Chain A
Amino acid sequence: MSTGIGARVQRKEDKRYITGKGKYTDDVRNESQAYAAFVRSPHAHANVNGIDTSAAMAMDGVIDVLNGQQLTGDGIGNIICGWAITSKDGSPMNMGAWSALATSKVRYVGDAVAVVIAETQALARIAAEAVEVDYEVLPAVAASDKALAGGAALIHDNAPGNLIYDWEIGDGAATDAALAGAAHVTELAVTNNRLSPNAMEPRAAVATFDECDDHYTLYTTSQNPHVARLVLSAFYQVAPENKLRVIAPDVGGGFGSKIFIYPEEITCLWASMKTNRSVKWTSDRSEAFITDAHGRDHITTAKMGFDAAGKIVGFKVDTIANFGAYMSLFSSSVPTYLYATLLSGQYNIENIHCNVRAAYTNTVPVDAYRGAGRPEACFLVERMMETAAREMGKDPTDLRRANFVQEFPHQTPVIMAYDAGDFGANLDQAMAAADVAGFAARKAESAGRGKLRGLGYSSYIEACGIAPSAAVGSLGAGVGLWESAEVRVNPVGTIEVLTGSHSHGQGHETTFAQIVAERFDLPLENVSIVHGDTDKVQFGMGTYGSRSGAVGMSAIVKAMDKVEAKVRKIAAHVLEASEDDIVIEGGQVKVAGTDKAMGWHEVGLSAYTAHNLPPDMEPGLKEGAFYDPANFTFPAGTYICEVEVDPETGVTDIVQFTASDDFGTIINPNIVEGQVHGGIAQGIGQAMLEQVVYDDDAQLVTGSYMDYAMPRASDVPSFSVHHASTTCPNNPLGMKGCGEAGAIGSPPAVINAITDAIGSNDLAMPATPQAVWNAIQAAK
């Protein structure tokens, strides 16, 4: 059986995951292990007038109680947002100070004010309860529109009116003119509901300071350990990079929430130095709800204009994005360059203008969550297309087709240059698979049982392969977004690949090995993937934005190119042939058309014994490469959701969900389908179940699974997943990325289907039975 590109190889890593033998951060136990528990604000906004630690310090087993004054006094820097956005008036974004432990003011429920270090986790938590904080409660605000309205509590002194930036993209005047001349204008107001990420493994950190070497080791739940080390060193001044090793071992899901550097890792590192103990913190689920960065939370109004033939002439968008109480690491880029740049959707739109205001509120910080800006764009565009089709009495697929981008490359008016795609092919494939032709009969059958049946479409596009470094640099990014790889051929011919990508569920140990096994025609088990340790891998930008295939694997290909060149030289020298005649296959390196050959392992051995190498060749067989992508990649596709609604209860059953995706080259269909299944489940979660709710005092009231509804197996159908691919012209494997597509494309398909079923377009996410029932009643 083939194990190369396109093969359904079983995941190499699953044995340890399925048997409970994964090695996670919380599994690390050091000799001098102590435990941290954070004292967190129960108030959404308050001045901290004093902290009395005497009762906690007096408890047996308490090693120390540390606060924010001590932390900043030791020179630990504020947490920063690494992407600078400039307001339309030219002013820089208003970033408020964020200390890992609050010094004088808390700004959301969960903001940490002190940390207890104790001999056991239980003791630490009990002692944390005994720390008495004198809070002077201030007025608080949770909703972004209220935060920006006059009179709201001021959260950061340097952000007047709680405004972080007021940014725009596109030509406003041209878009207004286009809309003024339109034959039809559709207006839509949508809210993109706030979500909590809920990775299966909660965040954790184990920090160990070695006073002899003045060196720190941090085990942490990170999607990008090198970025963590960079930021911890350069901005938070925890330690210089050569004195800080960051290891992200097995990580149980991230969905974006483990990209960011949080107060807890910083505090554990610092506390380890202060106490000269190894310090471990493991979040529990309650703590996760108030510390893991939330996602989405947009309020948007938009207008789309069409000419008499149904061609889009202009699209104008106004969005308020809720950033929570502090600016998280990549927060600023999410509602700008990851959102507004995708507002052209799959459509040829000449005029687009989008204005985005970012607001501070007294809530958990908001940052990237699976899709990050692109789900918000897709939801708006695809709800708009369906709504416009209904208003104009057109078939929603006809309206889409009439506006599809047909020629590539296609430059949109909002930065992106789509490089390849066949949007009509995905729509055709999805419609055939979903048996759209038979829908009318199914609807009639449902009606006979008193049920409402509906069909909803979503033709999504997203941007992955993040990203060309010079391009993102010009847009304000503080880092380059290339990837690195090193391919090490051992003297016995086995191969280790060191990658800057990080696997936290994506299956890199399998897919990355597949491309190496295919390239050198070796058994899959001869290839091992090494990642997640700054002492082993030279550098890397990590895994997010569906970048590990298009960028991470491309770096591996570049390194393999160099390895292959050297293998050819060695073999040509030893076999006394021309490099051009060398063929690598079946575990051998041969001279084409002859019986001259040497084993692959013999080439490795030759490289390391160096007894007979070409003149001037260095010994060894190890090559590295940095790959900087030439463009974003553009996964796209069409999702079709079919629902049946019980009008008496509002209960909605997804009876069929069909996906046709264009991910470019697929390395392992099993893994790609798994990514699509998981992404759609998350999208259905957003569309029908999940919502973070704050009350009027900015108290979080959805802080457990009693109130925050995650999708369960019974909430989702058996997905019908298909591929109609075009090759990405901008990377060596032709890959586009598949990690986020499901979560991006599915929510509008679900809401379009339910609103089709109930005959009312006024329905917000999450479409709970209560919301659907209310919409049915309101439409009567």
Chain B
Amino acid sequence: MDMSGSYRIGAPRQAVWTALNDAEVLKLCIPGCEEIEQTSPTTMTARVVQKIGPVKARFNGAIELLNVNAPQSYTIKGEGQGGVAGFAKGAADVTLSEDGGETVLEFEARAQVGGKLARIGSRLIDAAAKKVARQFFDNFHDHLNGKDPPGD
């Protein structure tokens, strides 16, 4: 599954970059994120609950930042095990560009699912991934503008 998009975020690029590298901010903004822990400057572990169609799973995963070119771009790579639900893994190339006082975030993502997620949820993955991405960026935009989403 491939997906790409672009979002305009009402904050300067350096602020966006800093937030994108902050585990606490990511925890607040990733939908269903229960826990995230920075294990090194470029690695984190996370626990995320996601529901895709009829399959609900708690993913325990690792996140890694690659190709870091502050404050312009990085590749964020994640892999999560969802128990009997299967697994999900993916990567996104994220680029930030300045536009006035705001920032345009563009991303190109590739994702793969396996196990029950693929068997039962495959035709729902695209829609679910787009929804999760949109929620994340909405939350992220709101966070940088002082409006954090309600907790789970």
Residues of A within 8 A of B (CB): 40-44, 109, 125, 128-130, 286, 289-290, 695, 697, 699-704, 706-707
A-side contacts of B123, CB under 8 Å: 701, 706-707
Checking B112, B119, B122 against A290 with a beta-carbon cut-off of 8 angstroms, the contacting residue is: B119
Q: Are A286 and B118 in contact (CB under 8 A)?
A: no
User: In the complex, A481 Cα to B118 Cα: how many Å?
Assistant: 41
B-side contacts of A700, CB under 8 Å: 118-119
User: In the complex, A286 Cα to B119 Cα: how many Å?
Assistant: 8
Q: Are A286 and B122 in contact (CB under 8 A)?
A: no
Q: Are B114 and A109 in contact (CB under 8 A)?
A: yes
Give 16 pairs: A residue, B residue, CB < 8 Å, sorted on A: A40-B84, A42-B114, A42-B115, A43-B87, A109-B118, A125-B84, A129-B83, A130-B83, A290-B119, A697-B112, A699-B114, A699-B119, A701-B118, A701-B119, A703-B119, A706-B120
Closest-by-CB residue of B relative to A129 is: B83
If A109-B115, A286-B116 touch, does A701 touch B122 (CB 8 Å cutoff)? Answer: yes
CB of A719 to closest CB in B, whole Å: 33
User: In the complex, A43 Cα to B118 Cα: how many Å?
Assistant: 11
Closest-by-CB residue of B relative to A707 is: B123
Checking B83, B114, B119 against A289 with a beta-carbon cut-off of 8 angstroms, the contacting residue is: B119
If A42-B86, A42-B87, A129-B83 touch, does A699 touch B113 (CB 8 Å cutoff)? Answer: yes
B-side contacts of A695, CB under 8 Å: 118, 122
User: In the complex, A40 Cα to B116 Cα: how many Å?
Assistant: 10
User: In the complex, A40 Cα to B115 Cα: how many Å?
Assistant: 9
Closest-by-CB residue of B relative to A39 is: B84
Q: Are A699 and B118 in contact (CB under 8 A)?
A: yes
B-side contacts of A42, CB under 8 Å: 86-87, 114-116
Excluding A697-B112, A702-B119, 9 further A-B contacts by CB distance (< 8 Å) are: A43-B87, A43-B114, A286-B120, A699-B115, A699-B119, A699-B122, A700-B119, A703-B119, A706-B120
CB of B124 to closest CB in A, whole Å: 9
Closest-by-CB residue of A relative to B120 is: A704
CB of B11 to closest CB in A, whole Å: 38
Closest-by-CB residue of B relative to A704 is: B120
CB of B104 to closest CB in A, whole Å: 33
Residues of B within 8 A of A (CB): 83-84, 86-87, 112-116, 118-120, 122-123
CB of B135 to closest CB in A, whole Å: 24
User: In the complex, A699 Cα to B122 Cα: how many Å?
Assistant: 10
CB of A111 to closest CB in B, whole Å: 11
B-side contacts of A706, CB under 8 Å: 120, 123
A-side contacts of B115, CB under 8 Å: 40-43, 109, 699
Q: Are B114 and A697 in contact (CB under 8 A)?
A: yes
CB of A552 to closest CB in B, whole Å: 38
Closest-by-CB residue of A relative to B125 is: A701
Closest-by-CB residue of B relative to A708 is: B119
Most buried by A among B83, B118, B119: B119
CB of A515 to closest CB in B, whole Å: 45
User: In the complex, A290 Cα to B86 Cα: how many Å?
Assistant: 13
If A42-B114, A697-B112, A699-B114 touch, does A128 touch B120 (CB 8 Å cutoff)? Answer: no
Checking A43, A125, A128, A704 against B119 with a beta-carbon cut-off of 8 angstroms, the contacting residue is: A704
Closest-by-CB residue of A relative to B57 is: A129
B-side contacts of A44, CB under 8 Å: 114
Q: Are A707 and B114 in contact (CB under 8 A)?
A: no
CB of B147 to closest CB in A, whole Å: 37
A-side contacts of B120, CB under 8 Å: 286, 703-704, 706-707
Most buried by A among B87, B118, B120: B118
Closest-by-CB residue of A relative to B60 is: A132
Listed from nearest, the 4 A-B pairs whose CB atoms lie closest are: A703-B119, A42-B115, A699-B118, A701-B122
User: In the complex, A129 Cα to B116 Cα: how many Å?
Assistant: 12
B-side contacts of A128, CB under 8 Å: 84
Closest-by-CB residue of A relative to B86 is: A42
B-side contacts of A701, CB under 8 Å: 118-119, 122-123
User: In the complex, A41 Cα to B123 Cα: how many Å?
Assistant: 21
User: In the complex, A702 Cα to B118 Cα: how many Å?
Assistant: 8
A-side contacts of B119, CB under 8 Å: 109, 286, 289-290, 699-704
B-side contacts of A125, CB under 8 Å: 84
Closest-by-CB residue of B relative to A132 is: B81
User: In the complex, A109 Cα to B84 Cα: how many Å?
Assistant: 11
Checking A130, A697, A702, A703 against B116 with a beta-carbon cut-off of 8 angstroms, the contacting residue is: A703
Closest-by-CB residue of B relative to A38 is: B84
Closest-by-CB residue of A relative to B122 is: A701
User: In the complex, A695 Cα to B111 Cα: how many Å?
Assistant: 13
User: In the complex, A706 Cα to B87 Cα: how many Å?
Assistant: 20
User: In the complex, A129 Cα to B85 Cα: how many Å?
Assistant: 9
A-side contacts of B116, CB under 8 Å: 42, 286, 703
B-side contacts of A703, CB under 8 Å: 116, 118-120
User: In the complex, A707 Cα to B123 Cα: how many Å?
Assistant: 8
User: In the complex, A41 Cα to B118 Cα: how many Å?
Assistant: 13
A-side contacts of B112, CB under 8 Å: 697
User: In the complex, A704 Cα to B118 Cα: how many Å?
Assistant: 10
Most buried by B among A42, A130, A707: A42
User: In the complex, A109 Cα to B85 Cα: how many Å?
Assistant: 12
User: In the complex, A125 Cα to B84 Cα: how many Å?
Assistant: 9
A-side contacts of B86, CB under 8 Å: 42
B-side contacts of A699, CB under 8 Å: 113-115, 118-119, 122
User: In the complex, A42 Cα to B116 Cα: how many Å?
Assistant: 7
User: In the complex, A60 Cα to B112 Cα: how many Å?
Assistant: 35
Closest-by-CB residue of B relative to A703 is: B119
User: In the complex, A25 Cα to B118 Cα: how many Å?
Assistant: 30
Closest-by-CB residue of A relative to B119 is: A703
Q: Are B84 and A129 in contact (CB under 8 A)?
A: yes
